[in-house]
Structure 1
Amino acid sequence: MEAPYPTTPISPSTTRIGWIGIGLMGSPMASRLLAAGYFLTVFARNPSKALHLQSQGAFLATSPQHLAQSCDVVFTIIGGPPDVRSVVIGPTGVLSGLNPGGVTVDMTTSSPSLAREISNAAGGKLCWAVDAPVSGADAGAREGKLAIMAGGDSRIVEWLLPLFEVMGKCTYVGGAGCGQSCKIGNQIVGSANLVGLSEALTFAGRAGLDLGKVLAGLKGGPAVNKIMELFGEKMIERDFRPGGFAEYLVKDFGIGLNFVEEDEGEVVALPGAALCKQLFIGMIANGDAKLGLQGVITVIERLNGIN
């Protein structure tokens, strides 16, 4: 028996939303839904972290199961695959409480194979699961400009669009797990651009150039990219406040580089990704796990005897 498709269009007056994960990204995303008029129930391991959302009208649940029992759609954006497994398919997880026809949406950057496992588990409960990781850092979360990469049933993703549009722009990329695979591709491209920009600025600095002028020159040519626009000035100004943590990117690389072990497919050679992972591991080894991704320039500098 297949899960029933939702028949009521999403709207602030009828759709009950659950939210789990109120960290750097999740908190502003949840705030946007509250500001759009949606009724939100949240769960936090540390309830004090939910006070700011409660002040905006959110209700606090005592467990993922408790939260899911009163919601039509449950969003999760948490640490990584072990957290997702526990919170979504654990004994008191979301799927233990979600009613038939309910939808769970994982926006964590997680494992494609786990996303497919969750989708199958949801189907067994006559529910739906969508994997919809995001890109855009905390600024994109605050401004509603996230890139959302969605995998799952296309009709369910289309039904969810009013919610996704509050948070950013959603692109449907295929069946269960495809959103996570697309996000890993995003991380590979983004990190390569971060490393390239770090090397360019380090090289230019050693050559005695004005880095502001160098950045302006780069932005005027084909080398310009979104990473440069987001992080170029921050690198020059030594602003390493996080929009996303370096340690989480290392986790994402681990998922991508272990793709073959998870899926038992052919080997995918990713030499650039493997090198980038090592550089971000260097950040962690230097005690900078909680710095923003732009902090990778410090690793390049240390390799060159700077700082």
Structure 2
Amino acid sequence: MGGHYPAPIAPTHTRIGWIGIGVMGGAMASRFISAGYSLSIYARTPSKATSLLSTGATLASSPAELAATSDVIFTMIGHPSDVRALVLDTLLPSLSPKTVIIDHTSSHPALARQIYDSALEKSCYSIDAPVSGGDLGARDGKLAIFAGGDAEVVQWLKPLFDILGKVNYMGSAGKGQSCKIANQIVVGGSLVGLSEGLVFGEKAGLDKDKFLEAVRGGAAGSMVMELFGKRMIGRDYRPGGFAEYMVKDLGMGVDLEEEVLVLPGAALSKQLFSGMVANGDGKFGTQGVITVIERMNGMGG
């Protein structure tokens, strides 16, 4: 027996499906296995699923097979176009009634609303739930989760969200995605500010480690500094989130079709992260934006 909504969620009968096992998605999915849940995954490249399969996950041969055998489905993929193709065109036609789909991808609010409406036509439910916290938050179950959709369904999902981090209910469908875009505007600006502070400090002859230690307890301190400061100093650009995805996220804020907003800081941040992509560093972590500031000042290497 499955555990479709509104049956109580429990490892003994709630079947979880997962699509998207990259840096973030793989770490998040593994936490459900550790918590004792039955996890089915789909991967376009099955060899990338080896680690999860070795710890107990099963491999579905197609998204349609995964949809037909899951009570709750999580997706964590790349771009809104990927979400449209996977969720609207592939998953939804294969869902059983009362299945819940949670999209963790940072995507467009209007697309989240469209998926929500299409799911209801199938007597299913959709929650847009992008996350913040990077690869460490995914690994440690300390993500901030921004959820949009039906409040009752989000509450029902709380035992699962609690495995991943802290869920914050933001309102109706699409509001989770709007919150993530606003989050990225703040994070992008913070990364640029931290990069410039470190570059200035180096030019001024400061010890960068001492600089971080000195300012972290004051007004300049932030979660961005805690997550990425040491990585920037050590030139560790391994991705928690790709720079090219930051360009996408900031673009959805700067170019949001439903609203006409002037966001000069976000527009500048988008240009700087776009510079990373132009330099061939789009697959670097977002902390790599410091390399753009360094290049502008004839530094780095």
TM-score bin (small chain):
over 0.9
Partner SS for 1:74: strand
CA distance in 1, matches of 2:93, 2:289: 41
Displacement after TM superposition at 1:7 (Å): 2.8
Displacement after TM superposition at 1:272 (Å): 0.5
1:305 matched residue in structure 2: 298
CA distance in 1, matches of 2:131, 2:286: 16
1:18 matched residue in structure 2: 17
* Pairing partner for 1:218 from 195, 206, 215: 215
Q: Which runs of 4+ in 1 moved over 4 A?
A: none
CA distance in 2, matches of 1:99, 1:278: 44
CA distance in 2, matches of 1:128, 1:49: 29
TM-score (norm 1): 0.95
Displacement after TM superposition at 1:51 (Å): 1.9
1:55 matched residue in structure 2: 54
1:40 matched residue in structure 2: 39
Unaligned runs of 5+ in 2: none
2:71 matched residue in structure 1: 72
Displacement after TM superposition at 1:220 (Å): 2.5
CA distance in 2, matches of 1:116, 1:227: 30
38-47 or 54-63, larger mean C-alpha shift: 54-63
CA distance in 2, matches of 1:7, 1:249: 36
Q: How does 1:99-248 map to 2 (within 5 A)?
A: 99-248=96-245
Unaligned runs of 5+ in 1: none
240-249 or 118-127, larger mean C-alpha shift: 240-249
CA distance in 1, matches of 2:7, 2:295: 57
Displacement after TM superposition at 1:279 (Å): 0.3
2:84 matched residue in structure 1: 85
The share of aligned pairs that are identical, in percent, is 59
2:91 counterpart letter in structure 1: V
Partner SS for 1:188: helix
CA distance in 1, matches of 2:237, 2:52: 27
* Pairing partner for 1:279 from 253, 269, 272: 272
CA distance in 2, matches of 1:48, 1:202: 40
Contact 2:6/2:156 (CA < 8 Å) preserved in 1? no
Once the two structures are superposed, residues 249-278 of structure 1 have per-residue CA deviations (whole angstroms, 9 ceiling, x without a partner) of 11111222221x2x2x4x111110000000
1:276 counterpart letter in structure 2: S
Contact 1:32/1:144 (CA < 8 Å) preserved in 2? yes
Contact 2:12/2:37 (CA < 8 Å) preserved in 1? yes
Displacement after TM superposition at 1:6 (Å): 2.3
Displacement after TM superposition at 1:63 (Å): 1.6
Partner SS for 1:164: helix
1:269 counterpart letter in structure 2: V
Partner SS for 2:61: coil
